[in-house]
Structure 1
């Protein structure tokens, strides 16, 4: 990652937090990405458009803010990313929530379950990095 700076991470975190707060304030919905995405797969009336716009905005932001978005999409490891994404989706279903829902919203609401889940996510990621 040649583009990593503390400022880019701070800006990304601020954008995530701001979008989560706006979604919660204006619609009462929690910004758990896996839940938002799964709602697209099982659409209900008056519940589809905001989900589509939220996920679409996330995808669009990748192309706007990532200087090497096109090379990431043509990378030979794109299949590996898709498989990893499927495993993450399965894990979020098993864990009753995703990292964004627990880490951003759950911790802000002082949910004990979310704090524990986020500690497990972070700890698992640290272990994976050790064996990488």
Structure 2
């Protein structure tokens, strides 16, 4: 069972929302992680330094949290090959869905984008089905 951490979750959600709002307000861009990542992998986007700085912040923030005495419990209950398969499937979904959970679920829904509402509902349904099948049908 996953540990329930309402205050850490609320704090993280506020920081994600603040970062998304600031990125849109200051740069006119959606803070979708796969879109940002896509611009720092060759061929580089013209604004790749901005994208690299955003990604560096996303990596540095948890590191700073841990150095300040916080802890991030992390456990993966499945084998590495299954993680790789899952990552591949998610990559296909991100490509055909024109975005990821941060782009659609956080930014798109905040902008009341109908496409993002459909995409986020699709992500969530796929998640529920995947967890049910892997845990209760396959017993993984």
- TM-score, normalisation: structure 1: 0.81
Q: Cα 1:110–1:82, aligned 2, differ >3 Å: closer, same or farther?
A: same
Decide whether the 8 Å contact of 1:102 with 1:114 is kept in 2.
yes
Distance 1:86 1:43 in 2: 22
Name the Cα RMSD after superposition. 2.6
Unaligned runs of 5+ in 2: 136-140
Structure richer in helix, relative to its length: 1
The residue number in structure 1 matching 2:138 is: none
The answer for unaligned runs of 5 or more in structure 1 is none
Greater Cα offset, 114-123 or 60-69? 60-69
Give the equivalent residue in structure 2 for 1:116: 118
Partner Cα separation in structure 1 for residue 37 and residue 49 of structure 2: 12
Normalised by the length of structure 2, the TM-score is 0.77
Q: Which has the larger radius of gyration?
A: 2
TM-superposed deviation, 1:107? 0.6
CA distance 1:63–1:78, change in 2 (3 Å): farther
Shift of 1:35: 0.4
Aligned residues: 129
Instruction: Report the Cα distance in structure 2 between the residues aligned to 1:10 and 1:18, rounded to whole angstroms.
Output: 12
Q: CA deviation at 1:57?
A: 1.2
> Which residue of structure 2 aligns with residue 43 of structure 1?
44
